[in-house]
A = this chain, B = another copy of it.
Amino acid sequence: MQEKDISIAVIKRLPRYYRYLGELLENDVVRISSKELSEKMKVTASQIRQDLNNFGGFGQQGYGYNVEYLYEEIGKILGLDKQYNVIIIGAGNLGQALANYIDFERRGFFVKAIFDVNPRLEGISIRGVEIQMIEYLEEFVKSNTIHIAALTVPKLKAPAAAKELVNLGIKAIWNFAPTDLNLPPDVLVENVHLAESLMTLSYRLKEIDDAELEGTEE
């Protein structure tokens, strides 16, 4: 259980390694040195060596890293060697975008059902998955193993929807509603707060503006 001591900072960097290694694999790259990987990823080579040493170090002196092996090992660490069944609550544009995102499937995340309250969406199929009315949610979750629920409903509806999902036994919620969900501590919540991401852009734009203004004043 060597993995247990890995810092959150390293864990957060793993998906990015995974993405880069996946791109190398797609381009038929068999091996790569930490130096080359560092140039591609704009991280220092020593950081790469340190990060990957956490997992027993997959590199060999003078050879570098075996791309496929490293990709698969990091995938296992991230739990991507398993299949996750996902349902999407909210079939608006965002919910449909998630359902259409083929990349998720490649990583083991399979959209099993999409639910909405809007009868005009009923029966519309997105990549083979039909949009169902929310009344069928309970029955569906009880008769299928669902690991993750993506929540793309409006902010005001999100807390009640999340609570219902938790009552039905869902243990992981991927929340896109711009609000924090107050759920029991054993429920995993991963938030994607788009407005907050956009605000960091405006903050940085403002900083540049301020710096330029200061420049002209001098």
> Could you list which residues of chain A lie within 8 angstroms of chain B, going by C-beta atoms?
1, 11-12, 14-16, 18-19, 23, 41-42, 77-80, 82, 84, 92-94, 96-98, 100-101, 103-104, 107-109, 147-148, 155, 171-172, 174, 178-180, 188, 190, 192-210, 214
Contact = CB atoms under 8 A, between A and B. Distances in A.
Contacts of A196: 15-16, 19
> Which 7 residue pairs are nearest across A and B when measured between Cβ atoms?
A79-B206, A93-B97, A15-B196, A79-B202, A94-B97, A15-B199, A93-B96
- Among A12, A193, A195, the most chain B Cβ lie within 10 Å of the Cβ of A195
Contacts of A103: 155, 178, 195
A111 B207 CA distance: 22
Contacts of A198: 104, 107, 109, 148, 174, 190
A188 to B, nearest CB: 5
A85 B84 CA distance: 39
Interface of A is mostly: helix
Contact of A15 (B14, B94, B109, B200): B200
A190 B197 contact: yes
B16 A205 contact: no
A214 B104 CA distance: 29
A96 B97 CA distance: 9
A174 B195 contact: no
Most chain B CB within a 10 A radius of its CB, from A180, A192, A200? A200
A194 B197 contact: no
Given A94-B93, A178-B19, A200 B82 contact: no
Contacts of A201: 148, 172, 174, 188, 190
A80 B202 contact: yes
A203 B109 contact: no
